[in-house]
Every structure is written in structure tokens, then in C-alpha cells.
Amino acid sequence: MLRTSYIFLLYALSILALPACGEKPAPASGGASAQQQELNAEETAQYLARGKEVAMSTFAAMSSELLSAMQRGGVAEAARYCKLSAYPLVDSLSEAQGAAIRRTSLKIRNAKNRPGEAEKQMLQAFQSLHDAGQLIQPSVQLAGPDTAVFYAPIQVQPLCLQCHGKLGETMKASDYAFIKELYPGDEATGYAEGDLRGIWSIRFKR
């Protein structure tokens, strides 16, 4: 329990420390005109705050379940949990929060997490900022006139490396063999602590 709380605190601090601004590192693609893709300052602040809250609460719920699975059966049980139970949990949280919650990456494990075009643009923009050693700020954009999307970075934490790290260094060959059975097309390995793993993509109705 203490470990769960500690990991959540670190993540919460990292999200809350990000500047509360709505700069757009990548343009949204399709769906709305240039004029429609502008949010006023009040709306931007509102969706940034809501996005951070939803991301943190979702992370807390998923981390708790994932750590419990890890304690029960190590990486194999954690991978099985992600395969079978993570999506129903996120779906229930989406309904409770009145939002559509997604996590996506340029290197996916589950094909359901493949990024859309706007998400891909944001991932590439965030990766460029990360590679340049610059601070990655959350962003809010419009996906059409009736939908606002909150984007924020997901960075690799130490515990992530057991399933997403470097084979033979932070990830055991036996563990990865089991992961490959569940996800034959897996791309989500080779990470180090602090790397950009992906993004939160959280959609709100305006």
C-alpha cells in the first residue's frame, strides 16, 4: 500500500508541476476549421485542470491494480492483468468521469492503443521536445467544434522497466517470452527510466 501511494505521489507531482498553459506543440488534424480550433483562456484552464484530474485518478486506479497483480504473480500476472482487465477498468473510469480516456504511444503493445493521426502528431511533437531536453507541457486542442482533447506525457517509471525495459538488463528473457505470447506484435520495449512512453489522450464533450 505504501509503495502504491509513493508511486502515485511521484506521478501526481510530475503532472501538477507541469505548467498550466495551453500551448499547442502539434496541430490537430481534420475535423474543425482554424477558427474552431481556438479555445479561450477560461476553457483552456478548465480542460487542463479536468484532464490532469482524470489522468491522475486513472493512473492511481490502474497502478493499484497492477501492483496487486505484480505482488500476486510477478510480471506474468501483471501482463495478464493488462491484457484482460485494464480496458474494462478504463472504460468504467471513462464513464464515471464523463470522458473518453486513452493511452497511446509510438511503440504500442496492444493494437487497440494505436494512435490516431492527431495523437501521432502530438506524440511526435512531445518526442521532439523530450529529445531536445525541453519541458513537455500538457496541451488542450479541439477535435471538431464539440470535443476538447487533453494531452499529457507519460514517462517511464522504474517499475515500468520490468515489462518495458531493455531485454537482459531491466527485463528478464523469461518475462518477455510470456509477454510476447500475449502480444505477438509487441513494440513497447527498450525504454529507460525517464523516457517518453506515450501520452494521455482524454476527450471531453464541450
Which range of residues forms the domain containing residue 139? 2-205
Residues in Cβ contact with 46 at an 8 Å cutoff, skipping those fewer than 6 apart: none
Dihedral angle computed from the Cα positions of residues 82, 88, 89 and 94, in that order, rounded to the nearest 10 degrees: 130
Whole-angstrom distance, CA of residue 137 vs CA of residue 197: 15
The whole-number average pLDDT for the span 35-44 is 79
Which residues are paired to 103 by β-bridges?
200
How confident is the model at residue 122, as a pLDDT? 98
Say if residue 16's pLDDT is above 80. Answer: no
How confident is the model at residue 38, as a pLDDT? 82
Say if residue 8's pLDDT is above 50. Answer: no
pLDDT digits (tens, 9 = 90+) for 83-95: 998 989 999 999 9
Give this prediction's pTM.
Answer: 0.83
pLDDT digits (tens, 9 = 90+) for 102-134: 999 999 999 999 999 999 999 999 999 999 999
Residue 37: pLDDT band (50, 70, 90) is low
How confident is the model at residue 25, as a pLDDT? 53
> Phi-psi region for residue 113, left (φ > 0), alpha (ψ -120 to 50) or beta?
alpha
Number of domains in the chain: 1
CB 198 within 8 A of CB 162: no
How confident is the model at residue 159, as a pLDDT? 87
**Residue for grid cell 493488462:** 82
Which residues are paired to 187 by β-bridges?
none
How confident is the model at residue 7, as a pLDDT? 41
Whole-angstrom distance, CA of residue 202 vs CA of residue 51: 7
Which residues are paired to 201 by β-bridges?
102, 151
pLDDT digits (tens, 9 = 90+) for 49-70: 999 999 999 999 999 999 999 9
How confident is the model at residue 26, as a pLDDT? 46
H or E element at residue 150:
strand 147-155
